[in-house]
Amino acid sequence: MQRKPTMNDVAHRAGVALKTVSRYVNGDPTIGADYADRIREAIAELGYRRNMAAARIRPGQSAKMIGLIISDLSNPYFATLARAIELGAAAAGYMLTIASSEEDGARHDLLVDRLLEQQVDAIIDVPPRAPGRAWRDIPPPLPPLVFVDRPSDWAAADTVLADNAGGARSATRALLHAGAGTVAFVGDSVEIFTMGERLTGYRQALVEADRPVDDDLVRDTVHTVDDAMRVVLDLLAGGRAQAVFAANNRAALGALRAFRLAETFLPMIGFDEFEAAALINPPISVVSQDIQAMGRAAADLAVARLNGSDIPCTTTVLPTSLILRGSERLLPAF
Amino acid sequence: MQRKPTMNDVAHRAGVALKTVSRYVNGDPTIGADYADRIREAIAELGYRRNMAAARIRPGQSAKMIGLIISDLSNPYFATLARAIELGAAAAGYMLTIASSEEDGARHDLLVDRLLEQQVDAIIDVPPRAPGRAWRDIPPPLPPLVFVDRPSDWAAADTVLADNAGGARSATRALLHAGAGTVAFVGDSVEIFTMGERLTGYRQALVEADRPVDDDLVRDTVHTVDDAMRVVLDLLAGGRAQAVFAANNRAALGALRAFRLAETFLPMIGFDEFEAAALINPPISVVSQDIQAMGRAAADLAVARLNGSDIPCTTTVLPTSLILRGSERLLPAF
DNA sequence: GTGAAAGCGCTAACAA
DNA sequence: TTGTTAGCGCTTTCAC
């Protein structure tokens, strides 16, 4: 493998000074046309490619790279979010270094360290459920920071959230409105911010409708689809639940499996759109987050900071929408 | 925002030479214990963090970063693949810069250029359907290169594929075996490598069973779910197809929509697992690729090259598995 | 075992 | 408009 041609090689070949090549490469317009031609030729002949790593070591320079930490790239929700962020970043000329924290605080912190070592221009972060080191314990300077999906203890950063409580509230209300006497909550640990919010919204809806909050109907230990299935089977056996609010994707899929297994279908609404939702019989109603908008907002906020925006840090809460497809009612046909 | 502490600052603070700090940071064992302590303290007090970008500019150094180009991060197939690659890369201490080519050759080439500028240690690539610049036209030196999911014209790279033909063959065979007199092929353009392979497998199965290949039953113009739905409705109207092999995800979803619309269900098998497959009634049989294994293999190959492996370039073809759930048979109940 | 000096590829200041 | 010089933060000779 031969040596990579450097800017110096180009300068020699073109018979100009190093700095002139640098100017050319950086799009400086004040270059004589003949010089520009010679440089262009030399670059083509040598197959020269600029070394961003070298350019970046100088303070004030950047590699046009944003670091993104999410929970798990194979989760469609986060994949979609990452994609939306990628689009927003690309529009401003940034690429993305993406890493999965697996909701593990220690791993998350390690990823932060590595991104900082890499001198990324900004970090967009989904704070993990299991908390690690606090951001304030990281010695400054920190690059611009944006939190998505969940907030953080660190105030000096922009935050983009969905209206989890509102979505859960409208879903629960829709179930009650469709005639359910009781509604069960099936979700992951309420220590996860979004789950806590969704539980709050669920409770609000019950209180507003003058229904008691039955703790036996609140199940917040669902980490996997299988967990959810077991929990819903248990709820079916208990006989107290007349409807199910599945507070995330996995909970919804698990509930559907349980219904199929038990050959009983309770009215249900899920949180987050999923591929199967419209195809299943009955089609599943869901609370839908505008993931594209969240990702775009996060990327735009990061880019704005990189462009020197100095406005106070903001928290953006994006609305959710309730998509009713029929599963909120009890279907005699099933 | 204050200045970042440098290795020099640490050296001053600890009262040692710059090089000693460098040794410490790089894990050189030949350092006096007292020196090491002093350096560790100085690093902690200053909040020093190593600047990988600076370390990397020296030839032979690396930032432990692999570039990954896929079609679309929001596609669950590629998100899962990316996640598997991330795991393999992380195991060897590498992070991933991920970008979506959107199947666009020009965009793909731009991403390659940017990754090369970033001095990534290796590139893992899903070649886009629309071809752009050939790899051989890129002036060397190139970092190690691995192709996943589809092969490329470029021989000097390892390649990881799934056994598309074999999967299609077994699916078609299963449909015939279940009693179908004819099987339709519904898929995307056979110019896409994976599609061509799947069509080949489909044909093999027909030939092996002494059935004619009816060109009217081969539909390779399905780019979207809607396309697929229309094509399958047309097949139903034609009356010649007794079963459907849906050669990708979108084809399978479209077929299901068509069946629902026409209130007719033909025996079918899809290619690629999808979330809804097991939940739909009847549960859909699919050819499943081991995406984890593919991603892992790709990452391992890249890492092996980075570790200096000099063995000839390989093409790994991973087996697919046929998951029969019932949709391959005609269900009277539907 | 430790340190001084040179230089990686590039950009910023300043001259010319 | 172009070139010269210095230096970014780090690693690498090669002395001590």
Q: Mean pLDDT across the stretch B84-110? A: 97
**Is beta strand B65-70 parallel, antiparallel or unpaired with respect to B184-186?**
unpaired
One-letter amino acid identity for B40?
Answer: R
Report chain A's mean pLDDT, rounded to a whole number.
93
pLDDT above 70: residue B99: yes
* Short-list A98, A280, A74, A225, CA closest to B76: A74
Question: Residue B275 half-sphere exposure, CB side, CA atoms within 13 Å?
Answer: 22
Residue of B322, B219, B213 lying closest to B269 (CA atoms): B322
- Among candidate residues B15, B19, B18, the one with its CA nearest the CA of residue B37: B15
Q: Indicate whether B332 pLDDT > 60.
A: no
Q: What is the mean pLDDT of residues A44-65?
A: 89
- Chain A, nearest residue to B45 by Cα: A139
Q: Is B11 helix (H, G, I), strand (E, B) or coil?
A: helix
CA–CA gap between residue A199 and residue A190 (Å, rounded): 7
What is the reported pLDDT for A275? 77
Closest CA to B98 of A112, A317, A156, A85: A85
Give the per-residue pLDDT at B331: 62
Tell whether the model's pLDDT for residue A222 goes beyond 60.
yes
Instruction: Kindly report the average pLDDT of chain B as a whole number.
Output: 93
**What Å distances lie between residue B255 and A269, B62, B269, CA to CA?**
26, 49, 10
Question: What is the predicted pLDDT for the residue at A268?
Answer: 97
**Nearest residue in A to B2, CA atom:** A141
Q: Is A52–B118 a contact, with Cβ atoms under 8 angstroms apart?
A: yes
Average confidence (pLDDT) over A43-61: 88
CB B70 within 8 A of CB B126: yes
* pLDDT tops 50 at residue B73: yes
Q: What angle do CA B83, B85, B86 make, to 5 degrees?
A: 60
Q: Is the pLDDT of residue B333 over 50?
A: no
Taking C1' of D10 and every protein CA, the nearest residue is B55
Percent of chain B with pLDDT over 90: 78
The pLDDT-based confidence of B81 (bands split at 50, 70, 90) is very high
* pLDDT higher than 50, residue A334: no
pLDDT band at A331 (very low <50, low <70, confident <90, very high): low
- The residue-averaged pLDDT of A155-181 equals 97
The whole-number Å distance from A22's CA to D15's C1' is: 36
- Strands B244-246 and B268-271 come out as parallel
pLDDT at B76 over 50: yes
B30 confidence band (pLDDT: 50, 70, 90): confident
Segment B175-186 mean pLDDT: 96
Q: Per the CB < 8 Å rule, is B86 touching A72?
A: no
Look at residue B191 in the predicted model and tell me its pLDDT: 86
Integer distance in angstroms from CA B19 to C1' D12? 10
Q: What is the pLDDT of residues A87-143, one digit of tens each?
A: 999 999 999 999 999 999 999 999 999 999 999 999 999 999 888 999 999 988 899
Alpha-carbon distance of A291 to A318, in angstroms, equals 9
Q: Which of A49, A138, A80, A117 shows the shortest CA–CA distance to A298?
A: A80
| Measured distance between the N- and C-terminal CA atoms of chain B, rounded to whole angstroms | 67
CA dihedral of residues A278, A283, A288, A291 (deg, nearest 10): -20
Angstrom CA distances, A223 to A82, A150, A231, A321, B138, stand at 22, 18, 11, 24, 47
Report CB contact under 8 Å: B53, A50.
no
Min Cα–Cα distance to chain A from B83, Å = 6
Q: Count of CB contacts below 8 A, A vs B? A: 158
Q: CA of A102: how far to CAs of A131, A153, B148, in Å?
A: 12, 19, 24
Distance (Å) from the alpha carbon of B270 to chain A's nearest alpha carbon: 15
Where does residue A140 rank: exposed (0-12), middle (13-18), buried (19+ CB within 10 A)?
A: exposed
For residues B114-129, average pLDDT: 95
Strand C neighbors by CB, 7 A: A 3-4, 6-8, 18-19, 22, 25-26, 50-51, 54-55, 57-58, 60-61; B 16-20, 23, 30-32, 35, 57-59
**Average pLDDT of span A148-177:** 96
Q: Is it the case that residue B100 has pLDDT exceeding 90?
A: yes
Please tell me the least confidently modeled range out of A81-85, A232-236, B1-5: B1-5
Rounded mean pLDDT of A53-81?
92
A229 three-state secondary structure: helix
Structural domains of chain B ordered from first start: 7-46 (no CATH), 63-160+291-318 (3.40.50.2300), 164-290 (3.40.50.2300)
Q: What is the pLDDT of residue B276?
A: 78
Q: What is the pLDDT of residue B80?
A: 96
Least confident of A50-64, A118-132, B209-223, B238-252: A50-64
pLDDT value of position A102:
95
What string of DSSP letters covers B79-144? HHHHHHHHHHHHHTT-EEEEEE-TT-HHHHHHHHHHHHHTT-SEEEE---SS--S-GGGSPSP---
Note the pLDDT of residue A153: 87
Q: Residue B334 — very low, low, confident or very high, per pLDDT cuts 50/70/90? A: very low
In total, chain B counts a number of residues equal to 334
Lowest mean pLDDT among A1-15, B99-113, B166-180, B278-292: A1-15
How far away is chain B from the Cα of A44, in angstroms, using its nearest Cα? 9
